[in-house]
Structure 1
């Protein structure tokens, strides 16, 4: 076997291993949260759920101002920007893996982009971003909250 073939085979093997590891579900974060953090996260999730439902209705009825308002509210609810104590922040960061934080930041950035698309009255872009936000919810819930959403535990990551 030539050196270039060996290098290609090694690269392919590493890619397969990396992909396999990335599809494993992470350990649920819920049991690691303090009672206060659990309550705050659940409160935020209920607000996001309500806003996502309102956005859907507003999107399909052409209410761009409502889409923008609700999307901005989701963006502004970002858990790490809330008035948590320093200890709460430390507890949160020790309870959740880096991937959780990354997904959360990306989700809230998508919400900001959705608000921008709504302000521009760009319905197709709103639809695309809303779908990306939904995908992000499923990814996070299936990886980090599978203990609460067992129907998502087997989702492809």
Structure 2
């Protein structure tokens, strides 16, 4: 589990550093995310860092079966949601134009999983918590594979 969260953190940092996604096999200098404004890349970087911190906390809380902390960190993950920050309609259009609607949908789905994790933690369902968190990690890895393949994946 520690390796999985380390990969999540590393991937999140990789996306934050590159500013977004790469949808082709061309070099990082050709990444569509580089076309995002500094403003939008800042939002993505902030979200990835918040998700990494919360993910670390969830991993530790799951190991201790600390449902209250899992619930709190899952809530933090949901609140890191870029669409709920100070993002304008034009910012959202920029995201969709550069990264595509699928990226936005995946981000929404990820945050829905965070809400499901929060609910499982509230119900003190450790099996559900672990399953949902595993699903979240797989969603992170899949999204990064599609949008930031140049970001190294830890084993």
Q: Normalising by the residue count of structure 2, what TM-score does the alignment of the two structures yield?
A: 0.76
**Closer, same or farther in 2 for the Cα pair 1:151/1:77, shift >3 Å?**
closer
CA contact (8 A) 1:71 1:115 kept: yes
Residue 103 of structure 2 is aligned to residue 100 of structure 1: yes
Aligned residues: 127
**Closer, same or farther in 2 for the Cα pair 1:61/1:113, shift >3 Å?**
same
Match 1:41 to one of 36, 40, 44? 44
Aligned to 1:6: none
The Cα shift of 1:89 comes to 2.1
Aligned to 2:14: none
The Cα shift of 1:99 comes to 1.8
SS of structure 2 residue aligned to 1:84: coil
CA contact (8 A) 1:29 1:144 kept: no
Question: Bigger shift: 29-38 or 119-128?
Answer: 29-38
CA RMSD of aligned residues (A): 1.7
Match 1:62 to one of 24, 44, 65? 65
The structure whose Rg is larger is 1
Q: Normalising by the residue count of structure 1, what TM-score does the alignment of the two structures yield?
A: 0.75
CA contact (8 A) 2:74 2:115 kept: yes
Q: Deviations along 1:23-50, whole A, 9 cap, x unmatched?
A: xx83454223111111110111011001
The Cα shift of 1:90 comes to 2.1
CA contact (8 A) 2:96 2:103 kept: no
Residue 140 of structure 2 is aligned to residue 143 of structure 1: no
CA contact (8 A) 1:67 1:118 kept: yes
CA contact (8 A) 2:95 2:104 kept: no
Residue 91 of structure 2 is aligned to residue 82 of structure 1: no
Q: Which is bigger in relative contact order (C-alpha 8 A, separation at least 6)?
A: 2
